[in-house]
Structures are given as structure tokens and as C-alpha cells.
Amino acid sequence: MSIRLLSTKILSTSQKALLSNNQFQLVEYDSLKIDLLHEEIDTSYKHIIFTSQNTVKAYLKNLQNSNNLNGEESISTITSQITAYCVGEKTKALLEEYRIKVVVVTHYGADLSKILVEKFGNESFLFLCGNKRRYEIPTRLKENNIHFKEQVVYENSPNPKAFTAHFNGILFFSPTGIESYQIKNSIKDSIAFCIGTTTAAEAKKHTSNIIIANKPTVESVLEKVVEHYKSKIN
């Protein structure tokens, strides 16, 4: 049996290796277009909330482009003085790659906001996010009178593409990715493999045929795909 899969994100070589079984036929594309914005970073904040790898990339890029900074030594001086609070293991890994100290990492923004309120309520935060950011973090900080400055450092826009083929499974990695896919397509009777509960909540608007990854990572989504189709392939 041949299993046709559509990934709404271009996968890395190591990620595709998880689908190495010859029975999988993979089609992939980026359902979203990401543009890093040119924004001057407020370096007065020493506690920074990073909601994704894109916020880390935008932060570093804007530090490098700052007229007030010259060379890697100046950038490393600033990054060595900050404390990071982030969503996602991949975000944490990227921060640590640049020797930025991470004190809290969670799978979801709601969990991060809870920890910030309970343990870091006296701090002031720079909250870096995209234009389609979720509400949990800023809402909870406001409700608890925690000072923060929100800065949009990247834009997330649909990259719609029409598909005529039928897919057994469609891999979704964000609510906005589903919205983009639905512009020119319909999930119909395909299985929606979702990276997490917030993505699944969006998928439920279009289908009840949903499988959620054990952890909100691309790799966990792929592992769930393999697990689901294992009996059918064998």
C-alpha cells in the first residue's frame, strides 16, 4: 500500500529520513512565508521572551544591523547579559548555539506565561513575536500587572498552493498553516497530523480526523505518522 503524505513545511534531510519507508510518497511545500522585519531592538531589556526560532533569528539579525553595534564582540556583549524565556526545544537550542542563557523553556506559550507570573513577576520583559502571535502570554502578563514591551519582529503570511492529488495524511505545524492550506484546498477525508493542541483546535474547524503529536516538534509529528501507518504498511 502506498501512503501519500503532504507536509505543509519543507522538511530537513534528517526529518525526511524518519519517513524512509518506500511506501511513503511525500510532497512538501511551505504553506507560510516568513519575513524577518528590520526593527531596532530595545537593548535596555535584560529579560527576553522568545516565542519561536524566527524570533531568535530576527533578534540576532537586528542586533547585527544596528548602527550602534560594530562586530561580533559588541553583539556577544549584549547577548551575554540577557536572560531568555522561550517556547520550544528548537528555540532553546538555537539560543544556546549563540550562548544565550535560557532559564525557562516550555512547549506552549500558555505554560510559559504561567511560570513567568509565578516565578518572575517582578521582572520587566521584552516580548518578541510574529504578527500572528497568540494571546496567552501578553494577556496573562497584563492581567498580573507584569511590565513588558511587545515587539513584532517577523511577519507570517499565507503562501497558498492548490493540490489536485488526494493525500492520505496532511502534516500541519501551526494554525496559520492550516488557514493557508484551506485557501485553495480542503482537508476532506485526509488525516490531519497536528504538531500540538492549538494546531489541532484549528483543524477541528475542518475535520474530525485528527492525530496530535506526543510533543510539539516536527520529529514527533513524523513519528506519529510512522506509528499510525505501521500496521497498514506491514
Cα gap 179→201, rounded to integer Å: 12
Residues 149 and 199 in one domain: no
User: Are 88 and 150 members of one domain?
Assistant: yes
Q: List pLDDT tens digits, range 57-109.
A: 999 999 988 755 555 557 888 899 999 999 999 999 999 999 999 999 999 99
Whose CA is closest to 28, among 2, 14, 4, 10? Answer: 10
**100 and 125 share one domain:** yes
Same domain, 45 and 152: yes
Mean pLDDT, rounded, for 174-182 = 96
d(CA 175, CA 35): 18
Using CA atoms, how far apart are residues 35 and 108, in angstroms rounded to an integer? Answer: 23
- CATH number for 71: 3.40.50.10090
- Dist CA 10 CA 85 (whole Å): 27
Q: Is the CB of residue 198 less than 8 Å from the CB of residue 132?
A: no
Q: Are residues 201 and 88 in the same domain?
A: no
pLDDT tens digit sequence for 100-155: 999 999 999 999 999 999 999 999 999 999 998 989 999 999 999 999 999 999 99
pLDDT in tens, 155-176: 999 999 999 999 999 999 999 9
Note the pLDDT of residue 73.
Answer: 54
> How much is the pLDDT for 65?
84
**Tens digits of per-residue pLDDT, 32-55?**
999 999 988 998 999 999 999 999
Q: Are residues 86 and 198 in the same domain?
A: no
Of the candidates 111, 139, 156, which is a domain's last residue?
A: 156
Domain boundary among 156, 171, 193: 156
Query: Is 163 found in the same domain as 152?
Result: no
- For the chain, the domain total comes to 2
Based on the domain organization, do 134 and 84 belong to the same domain?
yes
Residue-range definition of the domain harbouring residue 11:
3-31+159-233
* Res 173: pLDDT: 97
Please tell me whether residues 187 and 216 are part of one structural domain. Answer: yes
> Do 42 and 87 share a domain, yes or no?
yes
Please tell me whether residues 19 and 61 are part of one structural domain. no
Residues 87 and 47 in one domain: yes
Q: What is the pLDDT of residue 76?
A: 84
Q: What is the pLDDT of residue 27?
A: 97
Last residue of a domain, one of 129, 156, 183: 156
